[in-house]
C-alpha cells in the first residue's frame, strides 16, 4: 500500500512540474531571494522534458512489473 501511495505522489509531482514548470523551478528559491527570480526559457523546456520522460519511464516500469509478476489488474 505504501508503494502505491509513493508512486501516486511521484506521478503528482511529475505532472505538476510538467504543467507548471516555472512555479516548480522557483518554489524553493523564493525564500533565498527578495525579488523575482528569473527563469530561462531553456530551463523550462528542460524541466518539461525531464518530467515527461519520468512519467513515461515510471509507467513503463509499472507495466513491466505487472507483466513479470502476472498481477491481475481487475
Task: Mark 13-48 as b/e (b = at least 16 C-beta within 10 Å).
Answer: ebeebbeebeebbeeeeeeeeeeeeebeeeeeeebb
Tens-digit pLDDT string for the chain (74 aa): 677 788 889 999 999 999 998 888 887 677 677 676 777 899 899 999 999 999 999 999 988 888 888 756 65
**74 domain residue, yes or no:** no
Domain that holds residue 49: 2-69
Residue 30 lies in a domain: yes
Kindly state whether residue 55 falls inside one of the protein's structural domains.
Answer: yes
Domain count across the chain? 1
Write down the pLDDT at residue 47: 93
Q: Determine the length of the chain.
A: 74
Amino acid at each position: 500500500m505504501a508503494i502505491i501511495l509513493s508512486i501516486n505522489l511521484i506521478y503528482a509531482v511529475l505532472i505538476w512540474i510538467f504543467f507548471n514548470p516555472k512555479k516548480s523551478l522557483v518554489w524553493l528559491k523564493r525564500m533565498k531571494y527578495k525579488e523575482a527570480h528569473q527563469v530561462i526559457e531553456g530551463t523550462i523546456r528542460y524541466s518539461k522534458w525531464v518530467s515527461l520522460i519520468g512519467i513515461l519511464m515510471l509507467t513503463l516500469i509499472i507495466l513491466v512489473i505487472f507483466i513479470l509478476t502476472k498481477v491481475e489488474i481487475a
